[in-house]
Amino acid sequence: MTLGFEQEIGALSTGEEGVDSIIHCPTLRDELQARESPFISHNYFGGGFVSDEDRVCLQSIKFAGERSAGHRSHTNLAALALRPASKGRRISEDTQPLTGYLTLPDHAMRSGPREIIYHNPKDTHIAVCTVGGICPGVNDVLRSLVHKVLDYGVPESNILGVRYGFRGFYDKEHKPVVLTRRMVEEIHLEGGTILGTSRAEPNVPEIVKRLDLWKIDILFVVGGRGGNAAAELIHRECRAKKVPCCVVAVPKSIDNDLLLIDKTFGFETAVEEAQKAILAAKVEASSAYKGIGMVKLMGRQSGFITVSAALASGLVDAVLIPEVQFTLDGPGGLFAYLERIMETKGHCVVAVAEGAGQDMIDAKVAQALVDGVGRPQLRDVGIWLKSKFKQHFKDADIKYIEPTCMIRSIPTTAGDRVYCKMLAHGAVHGAFAGFTGITVGLVNTHYCYLPIPLIIQAPRKVDPHGELWNRLRSSIGQPNFE
């Protein structure tokens, strides 16, 4: 019998009081035949294998008390809100949590190659799809997924790339393509995704029918919170329909807004590229009489890119993010602060995340509008803020830069490229080890497997009382705009 969402979460961890506990991942091992890994002969290139008994510590710091810096962020991570997936509810990146909370166990399961695998590579059929918005690194992940399954011995003809997200499972005009080594050899040098993508809501029963019809043994889903939520529903439908397919997700989010995971691929590249826009805003502002440089960056609900790019550049005077409310007018408002900056320097630079200030733009309609996948439709905070600046700073020269598409569409930096490869390898190892309904990520600098429900409960956000925001404020001297 398939467990419900809350029941399955409760079954994910084991451990008695006073004894270390671990998050357990769902598997199909009882339904599959165990066999030795094809890498046994050379001990996985001399590096050895990973055991299911290896542990990744989820909480790396033991705080002395509630007054310790960063304690609040730690507590928020250890007590996450749950929301069960209900029938008919849209898969949304903006899922609102309920009042129930989950205390995480001490450890997660380590990612990596196992000595025993549960698929015969020569007979294994693979499907890969990319969903959601584009992000630096998607092609890197695709390339590394294909290379690693080929390393296991899967025939090239057995690797299918599903076109344009989930719609490719049932869109007659865009049939799956065979992913060969030659096809993916240089795609990591390009941005975007060679498979195409879409945000269309998945028809889960239809997808599972296709998985069964095509005899797919392993499905890899490269996507964000919405994509991971869909992968979890596909996993559940496979279990309910007794379709023996391992569903493994690779978490993608340029906003870095997935719970528990240290960082998502593409985030490092986005921060690096965002600095170029900030530098341009600085040059424009400093070259003009009473210049104001404005940069709007990605971040629907989480301001990680904006905060990190501002910290790295050292050029930003004020940072506005969705997690921290602000006011414009009054002695403690943004305008008064920028006036003081301009009196001192003659110009200023402001970085704003796209989800900031939504309650100030138009409270009556901001929450009523939704996009095609059920997410609240954001009002354009950049245009709104620029108009407010024009009204207040009458003789200022305001330059507004929005580099979103330029950031999303570029190839990865070297660090992100390596990270994409490790995530993809971990996903392949996990699938061949028989795990299903999991995602792979870096937790406390170690790669591990996590059941998908854990990372999609709510968006990860910058803690207004946490270390990251404190580092920014102490670095640039930004007050609370109250």
Active site amino acids: 255
Name the token pair of 304: 């990680």
Amino acid at 195: L
Task: Provide DSSP, 136-152.
Answer: TTHHHHHHHHHHHHHHH
Cβ neighbours for 248, distance < 8 A, ≥ 6 positions apart:
218, 219, 220, 221, 231, 427, 430, 431, 435, 436, 438, 439, 440
- Can you tell me the distance from the alpha carbon of 203 to that of 238, in angstroms, rounded to the nearest whole number? 13
As a whole number of Å, the CA-based R_g of the chain is: 23
Contact 326, 320 (CB under 8 A): yes
- Can you tell me the distance from the alpha carbon of 71 to that of 350, in angstroms, rounded to the nearest whole number? 29
- Can you tell me the distance from the alpha carbon of 126 to that of 145, in angstroms, rounded to the nearest whole number? 10
Rounded to an integer, what is the distance from CA 36 to the centroid of its chain?
A: 33
Contact 244, 251 (CB under 8 A): no
Rounded to an integer, what is the distance from CA 173 to the centroid of its chain?
A: 30
Task: Provide DSSP, 56-75.
Answer: EES-----SSTTSTTHHHHH
Helix (H) or strand (E) holding 463: none
Return the axis-axis angle of helices 138-152 and 414-432, rounded to nearest 10°: 40
Alpha-carbon distances of 227 from 402, 443, 453, rounded to whole Å:
26, 20, 12
Measured in degrees and rounded to the nearest 5, phi and psi for residue 233 equal: -65, -35
Helix/strand/coil (H/E/C) assignment for every residue in 417-430: HHHHHHHHHHHHHH
- Can you tell me the distance from the alpha carbon of 423 to that of 145, in angstroms, rounded to the nearest whole number? 9
> Strands, E, within 347-396: which ranges?
347-353
